[in-house]
Structure 1
Amino acid sequence: MSPTTSTLARVDKQNELFSRSEVEQILSNILNSNAAASLLEYNVSPECGPTGYLGEYFHLELKYKFLESNDTIQTTRVFVKSLPYQNPKMTAFIEACGMLTKEAAIYEQLLNELRKLTPTVWCAQCYFTRRDLFVMQNIVDMGYEPLVDPAEFLTQTQMDVLLKSLATMHACSITYEARNQVNIGEQLNDVLREMTVTPDVVFYTAGVRAILAVARVHPAYQSETLQKFIAEELPQHMDSVYEMVNPSKKYRNVFSHRDLWGGNFFFHKSKPDTEPVVLV
C-alpha cells in the first residue's frame, strides 16, 4: 500500500485507522467466539512510550458488552503497529523490503500456532492483520515492561530469562514441525526470507563499507599484514553473511528471532528474574 494523500489523511484521523467492521472482527478474535458481544465504541490513540523506528504505534481501546449478561461495560486495549505514514520515505523503504507484511504474516501464520504449544508466555497473540498494519495483545497491559535503556548491557539474570524464552520458541518450532510433518522454512519460504541483509539493500551495504573503512584506519590494524588482510580477505569473509542468514544445510534449523535488541523484549514487572520475557 502506497502512502497516498487520502491514506495520510486517514491516518491523521486516528479513529479512522480502522473501519467499524474491522474493529468488530478484532473484538471477535479477542473473545475467540467464547461469547457474543456488542461493540459500543472504540478509540485509537498514539503510543507515547519508547518504540522502534520502522512503524507507527497505537493503542486501540474497545468498549463492549456481552449480549447474554448484565449491563456491565467491558474494556480492553490492544496494540497496533502500522506503516509509518508520517514518514513517506521510510514507508516506501519498508514496503520495498516487505518488512511489515512479513512481520504480520509471521504472527498470523506461525507465532499464533507456536504459542499454543506451551503454557509459557513468550510472545503476544495477533488478532488482526492488514497489509499495512497488524493488531496484537498489549504486552504492557499483560504485566510486562521494556528495558529502561535498551542500549544498556543485560545482567546475567536478564540473560537467563531471555534465553529461556528463546529456547521455548526454538523448541516450539521443532514440535510444530514434528506434529504437522512440515518444514517451516519451506512452508513459509517467502515470509521468512531475509529481506534486509542482501547486496541490494543500501543501508546494509553502507554499513559494511563503513566497517571496512574504520578497519583500514584503526591504529591497531596498521601493520602491512593486517592491511593486506583487510583489503583482500575481510570483504569476502563479510560476504559470507548472505549465506548465513539462509537455512542451514548442515545443522538442525529452528525458527529464529534475528532482531534481538533491547526494544524487542519485555520483562515481567513483578517477577523479572524468574518469568520468561515476551519477545516481539
Structure 2
Amino acid sequence: MELLNQSEIESIVKHYGPSTILKWYTEDYSDKLLGYLGDHLRLVITLNSNGIEKDLKLFIKCIPRNNKWKAKYIKELMFFQKEYIMLSKLFINFKDGEGSSKWRPKLLYIRKDLFVFEDVTEFGYQMPYHRSTMDYDELVSVINAMAKFHAQSIIYEERKSKELNRKYRIWEDYSEYLNEPEKGQSWRDAGARAVVDFLKTYSKYRSQTDYIKYVEVVIPMLFDCAANLMKPRSECRNVIIHRDLWTNNIFFKKLDNGQIHALIVDYQTVLYCSPMLDLSSVIYFNTTRSFRDQNTDELIDLYYNMLTEELRLEDIDILNIIDKKSIVKSYQQSIVFGITQAALIVPIIAMSDEMRERTFENPESCEKVNVVSRSEEFIYLAKQDEGYRNRVIELLDEISDRYIFLST
C-alpha cells in the first residue's frame, strides 16, 4: 500500500508550479539510523515541465512502520501528535525566513501520521557527524537559527496581544501539547540510573570517601530540579523551545561567503519555558568542557544580539521583553537542565553507528533502553571504546564538580 495517494502527490507538486506528474516512489532515506522516533524516507516524483523531465526529491517523516513497540511508544508519548499540531497549527503563524534568515526546512504536506518536507540535502545541507563535537562557527550558526525560532514565539504573542487588546501567551491555546508527557518520565529515570552507574564505574572520583553515596543522592535530585524547569516560569519570558538540538536535528551548509548556515528539524519534543533551556542544552550536547569554559559568555551575548535583531525587524524593543542581565541569570539557572539533559543524550549521541543500530532498531533492546535501563549498554561500550568513554565521563565528571564537590 502506497504511503501517499495521487491527490496528495498533486498537492505537494503544486508548490513547484505547473507540471505533469509522470510517476513517484518512496525509498529508504539512508542506510543509517537517522532518528529514534520515526521512519525517514525519500519521496521521488518525476515531473514533466515544458517538455523537460526532472526528479523532485523530498523528505518524508512518518510513524514507524516495522517496529510496533516504537510506534506504540511514540503514540503514547504523543510525540507525533505534538509535532503535527505545532507544524499544522502554531508554526503556520511563524515566519520561516528566506536565504540566510531561514531556520527550518519548508513543509510541503502534512497529515497526522506523515510529514513531507523539502530535502535540504539537495541544496547542499548536510547533517554533522554525530560522534564529533561542534566547532565555534558551527555552534554559532545553530544558536543563530535557535534565536530566530525563539523570536517567532515572542513576535506571535506580541501580535496576538495587540489584536486581543490584552496580554496573550501561547500557553493559553497549546498547553496540552507543550508539557512533558508523564510517560516520558520512565525514559528520564532510566537515563538518570545510567548516569549513576557510569559514575560509579568510570568517574575519576569513584575511590574518594563517600563519593558513591553522594552520587546516589545528588544525581536524582538534579534530574528532579531539571524536570521542574521544563514548565513556564513567571520570572522570565517563555518561548517554544526545541529541547533536542543535537547533531541529528541540525543541518549545516557552508555559504559562498564562508559562513556556516544551520537549519533545525524535528519539533516533536518542544516545550514552553525559558529559552535558556535550549541554549544550555545545545552547548552541553555539542561541545567539550574546555570549549564551554572558554566560550559560554560570548555565546550568550551572541544569542541575545540575534534575538534583539530579530525582534527589532518587527519593531519590538527587546528591553520590553527581557534584558541582558535577566538572560544571564536565567542561563545560570538553566545549566542544571542543560547538563542533565546532555547526560541523557550524549551517551546516545556518541555511540558508534553499529551500536546505535543494534540498540534502537531491535524492539526488545529499544524498549529496554528507553524505559528500563541503559546502564549495561553504555558501560559495555565504554569498555570497548576509549573515545566514547572519555567523552561521556568528561561530561558526567563536570556534574560531580559542579553539584557534588561544591555542595559538600
TM superposition score category, shorter chain reference: 0.7 to 0.9
**1:32-90 superposed Cα distances (whole Å, 9 cap, x missing partner):** xxx55543322212202641132211111223456xxx444454222101112111111
- 1:190: Cα distance to partner? 2.2
Tell me the distance in 1 between the aligned counterparts of 2:54 and 2:92. Answer: 24
Residue 235 of structure 1 and its aligned partner are, at CA, apart by: 2.2
Q: TM-score, normalised by structure 1?
A: 0.80
1:39 aligns with 2:21: yes
Over the aligned positions, Cα root-mean-square deviation in angstroms equals 2.6
Report what 1:57 is aligned to: 40
Q: Which digits, 9 at most, give the CA deviation of each residue in 1:97-152, with x for residues without a partner?
A: 121222232222233432346761110121222222111111112331111x2120
Q: How far apart, CA to CA, are the structure 2 residues paired with 1:241 and 1:252?
A: 18
- Report the secondary structure of 1:52's partner residue: coil
Aligned residue number for residue 261 of structure 2: 276
- Aligned pair count reads 256
1:176 partnered with 2:160: no
- Please give the secondary structure, in 2, of the residue aligned with 1:229: helix
Contact 2:103 2:145 in 1 (8 A): yes
Q: Does 1:139 align with 2:139?
A: no
Asked if the contact 2:63/2:80 (under 8 Å) is kept, the reply is: yes
The separation in 2 between residues aligned to 1:133 and 1:253, in whole angstroms, is 29
Tell me if structure 1 keeps the 8 A contact 2:40–2:61.
yes
Letter in 2 for 1:236: M
Equivalent position of 2:351 in the other structure: none
Q: Which residue of structure 1 aligns with residue 180 of structure 2?
A: 194
SS at match of 2:120: coil
Change (3 A) 1:81 1:200: closer
Mapping of 1:68-79 within 5 angstroms? 70-73=50-53, 75-79=55-59
> Using the alignment, how far apart are the partners of 1:162 and 1:143 within structure 2?
16
Give unmatched runs, 5+ long, in structure 1: 1-9, 11-15
**Aligned ranges for residues 1-280 of structure 1 at < 5 Å?**
10=1, 16-28=2-14, 30-31=15-16, 37-48=19-30, 50=32, 51-65=34-48, 70-73=50-53, 75-116=55-96, 120-147=101-128, 149-181=129-161, 182-195=168-181, 198=182, 201-216=185-200, 218=203, 220-224=205-209, 226-271=211-256, 273-280=258-265
Q: 1:116 to 1:47 in 2, by over 3 A?
A: closer
Match in the other structure for 1:3: none
Inter-partner Cα distance in structure 1 for 2:256 and 2:86: 28
**Aligned position for 1:6:** none
The 2-side partners of 1:100 and 1:199 are apart by 14
Secondary structure of 2:133's counterpart equals coil
Q: 1:211 to 1:113 in 2, by over 3 A?
A: same
Deviation at 1:252, TM superposition (A): 0.9
| 3-state SS, counterpart of residue 58 of structure 1 | strand
Q: Contact (CA 8 Å) 2:200, 2:206: kept in 1 or not?
A: yes
Q: Find the counterpart in structure 2 of residue 7 from structure 1.
A: none
What 5-or-longer segments of structure 2 have no aligned partner?
Answer: 162-167, 266-408
What is the deviation of 1:199?
Answer: 6.6
Return the letter of the residue paired with 1:57.
Answer: H
User: Closer, same or farther in 2 for the Cα pair 1:129/1:141, shift >3 Å?
Assistant: same
**TM-score, normalised by the number of residues in structure 2:** 0.57
Counterpart position of 2:371: none
Q: CA deviation at 1:220?
A: 0.9
The structure with the greater share of residues assigned to helix is: 2
